Amino acid sequence: MTRALRKSRLLALAVLALLLLAALPLLAGCGSDAEDGEAAEEPQEQSIARDQLIVATTTSLNDSGLFEDVVLPAYAEIAPDVTVKVIAVGSGEAIAMAERGEVDVLTVHSPAAEQEFMDAGYGTLRLQFAYNYFIIVGPESDPAGVADTATAAESFAAIAGSGAVFVSRGDESGTHSKELKIWEGAGREPSGDWYLSTGQGMGDTLRIASEKEGYTLTDTGTYLAQRDTLDLVPLSPESADLQNTYSVILLDQNRHTAINAAAAERLAQYLVSKQGQEALATYGEEEFGEPLFRPYAETLGSY
Amino acid sequence: MQLIWEGFVEALRLLLGGDAALYQIALRSLWVSGLALTVALVLGIPLGGTVALTSFPGRRLIVTIINTGMAAPPVVVGLLVALFLTRNGPLGQFRLLYSNWAMVIAQVIIALPIVTGLSLAALQQLDVGLRQQIAALGANRLQAFFYQLREIRVALLAAVMAAFGGIISEVGASIMVGGNIRGYSRVLTTATVMETGRGNFDIAIALSVILMLLAFFVNAILTQIQQRERPR
């Protein structure tokens, strides 16, 4: 008798479960319909309201915390009605996104690609606002003798001839294109067993270099932030061929009407303003003992 | 929409043009996952059999752990394997991090619970009478085990497909412990992530098409074997 009771209860449960299962697609269907509707409307709303600024920036700039700690709080005071969304990708992808009109403003560090972008007419204004130096890091034993070289080209030539491993970003980022330019200057072909191309970001590439006891080219910020967990030391001289310049690029609203050009302009204005330049000149000092960026105005002789 | 269409056209061009790098990546994916699957089968089936056919204290806990393992997130496996293999880690002296071997190890750990759990479940489903019958016919334990494996071959092949599908399509662990190094440890999934990140959607689509074709053919072969003796 209890058994029969249990059986019927089980049956009831099973029926209930089946009913729920049958109802699920209906529920899910409603949900996704509503979402589709929203997704379709959103871009239009944005282009009318212009209350959003999408910044495509390089990973190195974003990972340093400069945007989060300095630029965004300052921008919130300048333009409290604008919500800023920062998308951190390699310079190559950032520029590709800008060409497709998916972002409102670019802050990148890939001069050659930037020039191409401007020549093709996608951008309306390109302003350099910060610079620093790339560094070549490697194992403390320094088998290639990088510490004794005077320029990055010499350093790379020394590495290529030493049999030591070089780990490359290989991701078409600003750092990667800088690296390729240095190889060009060194007159060496970066290929072979000793040349490892990761296709990943700076952090991952640094870790791989550390594991493989190899050399790599890195931006200062990412290296300083991670140096405690890496068996890598900075070895390069502060030579001109390692200079790393960051630019802000305004985009042509005539090409993609959704671009929020007004908000972008206010960001660029802040970055090159006295206030912005002074803020970035000291950024990182507290945490790393040295500033991560130098104001570009410094190279012009005055603010 | 145009982006997707152009991607497919470029994908076809790359596939038919016999892009050497592309096929090298596909072959690497196949051998890394194939090797991991083989190891997982060799270890997992006996393990599943032992847990299914014997009783010991804590058995239910072991089964729970195996079943939880079937749902282990690959990134967690990747993180653990990376921590063990890093130069300063417990297995650091073998210098295995960022190599194909590291990917094989991670994929074995992902596939093993799937193989073990599914073969365990299938063996347990077998009729107790059958087991007694085999024993009565004088089979030793090993013979009896292989006989029972024959009985569950359809379920075993399903386990093989589930495990292979799980690791060939896995990206989190592979990128963490393989490093996606060009010409060395770059596999289909990690290359797809990278090319998407670079905005090279055409190549990313080509890689995805190869990945799906690979999965289709492997599963087609396994399904062929599985469905050979379908009762009519």
Helix, strand, or coil here: A101?
coil
Tokens of residue B189, six digits: 């999934």
Angstroms from B87 CA to nearest CA on chain A: 6
Helix, strand, or coil here: A196?
strand
Find the domain containing B220 and state its range. Answer: 2-225
Least confident of A42-56, A162-176, B211-225: A42-56
Q: What are the residue ranges of CATH 3.40.190.10 in chain A?
A: 47-132+245-300, 135-235
Please give the tally of structural domains in chain B: 1
Higher-pLDDT residue of B201 and A77 is A77
Give the pTM: 0.74
| Structure confidence at residue A9 (pLDDT) | 61
CB contact under 8 A, A211 and B182: no
Angstroms from A196 CA to nearest CA on chain B: 6
Q: What's the pLDDT band for A162 if we cut at 50, 70, 90?
A: very high
Q: State how far the Cα of B231 lies from the Cα of B134, in Å rounded to an integer.
A: 22
Q: What's the pLDDT band for A257 if we cut at 50, 70, 90?
A: confident
What is chain A's mean pLDDT, rounded? Answer: 84
Q: What is the mean pLDDT of residues B133-156?
A: 91
pLDDT surpassing 80 at residue A286: yes
| Chain pair A-B, CB pairs under 8 angstroms | 49
What's the half-sphere exposure (Cβ side, CA atoms, 13 Å) at A188? Answer: 21
Number of CB atoms found within 10 A of residue B5's CB: 9
* Domain A135-235, CATH among 3.30.70.270, 3.90.1150.10, 3.40.30.10, 3.40.190.10: 3.40.190.10
CB contact under 8 A, A198 and B175: no
Least confident of A16-20, A239-243, B114-118: A16-20
Asked if the structure places residue B230 within a domain, the reply is: no
pLDDT surpassing 50 at residue B230: yes
Buried-exposed string A115-134: b where 16+ CB fall within 10 A, e elsewhere: eebeeeebbbebebbbbbbb
Asked if the structure places residue B62 within a domain, the reply is: yes
Evaluate whether B45 touches B149 at the Cβ level (below 8 Å).
yes
Q: State how far the Cα of A132 lies from the Cα of A243, in Å rounded to an integer.
A: 6
CB contact under 8 A, B198 and A210: no
Reported as type and span, the H/E element at residue B213 is: helix B201-226
For testing the chain A interface, which of B86, B188, B196, B198 should be mutated: the one with the most A CBs within 10 Å?
Answer: B198
CA angle B109, B186, A88 (to 5 degrees): 100
Topology classification of domain A47-132+245-300: D-Maltodextrin-Binding Protein; domain 2 (3.40.190)
pLDDT surpassing 50 at residue A121: yes
Closest CA to A189 of A214, A203, A168, A205: A168
| Structure confidence at residue A10 (pLDDT) | 55
Give residue B64's Cα distance to chain centre. Answer: 20
| Structure confidence at residue A34 (pLDDT) | 38
> Which among A54-68, A130-144, A286-300 has the top mean pLDDT?
A130-144
| Structure confidence at residue A225 (pLDDT) | 81
CB-closest option in A97, A170, A210 to B182: A170
Mind giving me the DSSP string for A16-35? HHHHHHHHHHHHHHHHHHHH
Angstroms from A197 CA to nearest CA on chain B: 5
CB contact under 8 A, B182 and A210: no
| Structure confidence at residue A12 (pLDDT) | 59
Contacts of A10 (CB under 8 A, 6+ apart): none
CB contact under 8 A, B197 and A89: yes
> pLDDT tens across A24-58, in order?
444 443 433 333 434 444 444 444 457 889 999 98
Give residue B180's Cα distance to chain centre. Answer: 19
Burial of residue A195 (CB within 10 Å: 0-12, 13-18, 19+) is buried
Q: What's the pLDDT band for B141 if we cut at 50, 70, 90?
A: confident
CATH number of the domain that B31 lies in?
1.10.3720.10
CA angle B53, B58, B64 (to 5 degrees): 80
Asked if the structure places residue B232 within a domain, the reply is: no
Angstroms from A91 CA to nearest CA on chain B: 9
Q: What's the pLDDT band for A301 if we cut at 50, 70, 90?
A: low
Buried-exposed string B135-154: b where 16+ CB fall within 10 A, e elsewhere: eeeeeeeeebbeebbebbee
Q: What percent of chain A has pLDDT over 90?
A: 55
Least confident of A11-20, A103-112, B2-11, B54-63: A11-20
| Structure confidence at residue A45 (pLDDT) | 41
Q: What's the pLDDT band for A155 if we cut at 50, 70, 90?
A: very high
What's the half-sphere exposure (Cβ side, CA atoms, 13 Å) at A97? Answer: 26
Q: What is the mean pLDDT of residues A178-192?
A: 94
pLDDT surpassing 70 at residue A297: yes
Residue B191: what are its φ and ψ, rounded to 5°?
-65, -35
Residues of A in contact with B199 (CB under 8 A): 92-93, 96-97
CB contact under 8 A, B198 and A198: no
